[in-house]
Every structure is written in structure tokens, then in C-alpha cells.
């Protein structure tokens, strides 16, 4: 049992190009890796493993998945050779029982996971397991799953969830600039305003996020938003929660990040 509770993080991961670039977001990821307590293992939850049912990577050496296209070859050549942890995968399956959890031997680490971890822990020397996001479940279920996983934080496991609370690729302003859609700003502020709410899943405004008028445009599909709910669920009563960095990119991508603990 670790005497120190590990933090839980939701990181807005944005473009895969953050792997090759240095900016204020990657600077925060690097700083977090250097200043936060060092975990014995990392449980990552990425928007990019969106499945039917719940799976957890259970291989000893997860592959680096390049699940994107149209980027420089240097990005495809990048590997993040962190070890896996079959033992932790089994512990997670036992923790979530009787809910069925498939011990997966095929997936690996997708870019939602490794693109942030490669900045936080560039030595790739901390075991990492990835949990999938079950597309068949309602939002409150994901929040409650975060509650169940919270005990791992007292066992030396850091939870690192990855997505974007505003993520509309069809509306992206590829020319760049600072022109952010009003609905994107409004929804991002809604998340900021309600991040410190502590309530049951059924009444939490960020669990019931689709009630916001900008939710549909901000999240045409929910997979980039849902990882946030795991971190909110993993928060203990009266535990501090902060927004260490925020920003809007390309008009329709929020880089807001959340730290619990």
C-alpha cells in the first residue's frame, strides 16, 4: 500500500503533432511528470479506444499505435516502449467484478495515451495499462466506473485520462488564429464552472453535459469528453481539483486539463 495517494489527471491531448512540438501544453505535461509523485504504474483512459464492452491491455509489452494519418514520417517513427503490467490488468478486472472485463492482448497504447505520456515520462520506464471506453454505456456509468477505480490511487497507480472537452474536427479552423466559436467557448466555460461540483452521478452537471446548449456542437460524438468523467468519479470527498492549463485551438478544440489531488 502506497502511503501517498496518486493524483488523477484529465489531459486535453489535441493534435498528435504535440509529440514533435514544444508548446505550453507539452511544457505542462513535462512539468507534471517531474513534479507529481512518481507512480508504480499508470492506468490510462483514452478517447481513442472506444469499444463495445470494457477491455484492459494485459500484455507485457504494449505496442505503440499510430492511429492517425497525414502527419510527418517522424511521428510514425516515434515509439513509446513502456512496459505493460499483466498483473495490474488482472487486479483491475478483479476490482470491477462482476462486471466483465476482457484482458486484451491486441491493442497497445494509442496516440491519446502515449502522446501525453511521452512528454510526462520520456524514459518510458513506468508500466502502463490502458482501459477502453465502453460506447454502449450512459454517461453516469463512466463516472461511477471512475469511483470504482479510485482505490487504485492509494495503491501507487496514477490515473491519466486523455481526450478534449470540446472536440469538433468538422468545424476546425485549419487556418489557425484566435477566432474561437462562441459555442465552443461557452461549453468550455461550462466545464470550468462545474469542475468543482461534488454530487451523485445522476445530478452532476458535467455528467449531464448534453443539457448544455453548446454540447452537441462541442461534442458531435462523446468519446473525447467521456474520459473526463473517470477523473471526476475518482475524486475523493473534499479533495482539491484544479485546472492547471486551458486553451482553445483551431476554433473548436479545447486543451483544458484537470488535476485531482
Tens-digit pLDDT profile for residues 178-237: 799 999 999 999 999 999 998 888 899 999 999 999 999 999 999 999 999 999 999 999
* pLDDT for the residue 199: 86
Helices (H), the chain: 24-35, 73-77, 86-96, 111-120, 139-149, 182-194, 215-218, 226-233
Give 44-61 pLDDT, tens digit per residue: 999 999 999 999 999 999
pTM for this one? 0.96
* pLDDT for the residue 94: 97
User: Residues 68, 51, 236, 14: what is their CA dihedral angle, to the nearest 10 degrees?
Assistant: 10
Percent of the chain with pLDDT over 70: 98
Q: Which range (24-33, 64-73, 130-139, 153-162) has the least confidence?
A: 64-73
Question: What mean pLDDT is reported for the chain?
Answer: 95
* pLDDT for the residue 2: 45
* pLDDT for the residue 176: 66
Grade residue 128 by pLDDT with cuts at 50, 70 and 90: very high
pLDDT of 1 over the 50 cut: no
User: Residues 172, 175, 181, 185: what is their CA dihedral angle, to the nearest 10 degrees?
Assistant: 90
* pLDDT for the residue 65: 97
Q: Is 183 helix (H, G, I), strand (E, B) or coil?
A: helix
* pLDDT for the residue 43: 98
Residues 92 and 152 sit within 8 Å (Cβ to Cβ) = yes
Helix axes 111-120, 24-35, angle to 10 degrees: 70
Strand blocks (E) in the chain: 8-12, 41-51, 54-57, 101-104, 128-134, 157-163, 241-245, 248-249, 253-254, 257-260
User: Residues 38, 39, 45, 47: what is their CA dihedral angle, to the nearest 10 degrees?
Assistant: 10
Residues 259 and 7 sit within 8 Å (Cβ to Cβ) = yes
Residues 115 and 152 sit within 8 Å (Cβ to Cβ) = no
Grade residue 68 by pLDDT with cuts at 50, 70 and 90: confident
Amino acid at each position: 500500500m502506497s502511503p501517498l495517494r496518486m493524483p488523477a489527471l484529465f489531459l486535453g491531448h489535441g493534435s498528435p503533432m504535440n509529440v514533435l512540438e514544444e508548446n505550453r501544453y507539452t511544457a505542462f505535461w513535462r512539468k507534471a511528470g517531474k513534479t507529481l509523485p512518481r507512480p508504480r504504474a499508470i492506468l490510462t483512459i483514452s478517447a481513442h479506444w472506444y469499444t463495445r464492452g470494457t477491455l484492459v491491455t494485459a500484455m507485457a509489452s504494449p505496442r505503440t499505435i499510430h492511429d492517425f494519418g497525414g502527419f510527418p514520417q517522424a511521428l510514425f517513427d516515434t515509439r513509446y516502449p513502456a512496459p505493460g503490467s499483466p498483473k495490474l490488468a488482472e487486479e483491475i478486472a478483479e476490482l470491477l467484478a462482476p462486471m466483465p472485463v476482457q484482458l486484451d492482448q491486441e491493442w497497445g497504447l494509442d496516440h491519446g495515451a502515449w502522446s501525453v505520456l511521452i512528454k510526462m515520462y520520456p524514459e518510458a520506464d513506468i508500466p502502463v495499462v490502458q482501459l477502453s471506453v465502453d460506447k454502449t454505456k450512459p454517461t453516469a456509468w463512466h463516472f461511477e466506473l471512475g469511483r470504482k477505480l479510485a482505490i487504485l490511487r492509494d495503491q501507487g497507480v496514477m490515473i491519466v485520462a486523455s481526450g478534449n472537452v470540446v472536440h469538433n474536427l468538422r468545424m476546425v479552423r485549419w487556418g489557425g488564429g484566435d477566432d474561437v466559436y462562441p459555442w465552443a467557448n461557452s461549453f468550455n466555460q461550462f466545464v470550468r464552472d462545474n469542475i468543482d461540483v461534488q454530487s451523485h452521478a445522476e445530478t452532476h452537471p458535467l455528467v449531464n453535459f448534453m443539457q448544455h446548449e453548446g454540447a452537441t456542437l462541442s461534442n458531435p460524438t462523446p468519446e473525447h469528453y467521456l474520459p473526463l468523467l473517470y477523473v471526476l468519479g475518482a475524486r475523493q470527498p473534499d479533495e482539491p481539483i484544479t485546472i492547471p492549463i486551458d486553451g482553445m485551438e483551431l476554433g473548436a478544440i479545447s486543451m483544458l486539463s484537470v488535476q485531482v489531488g
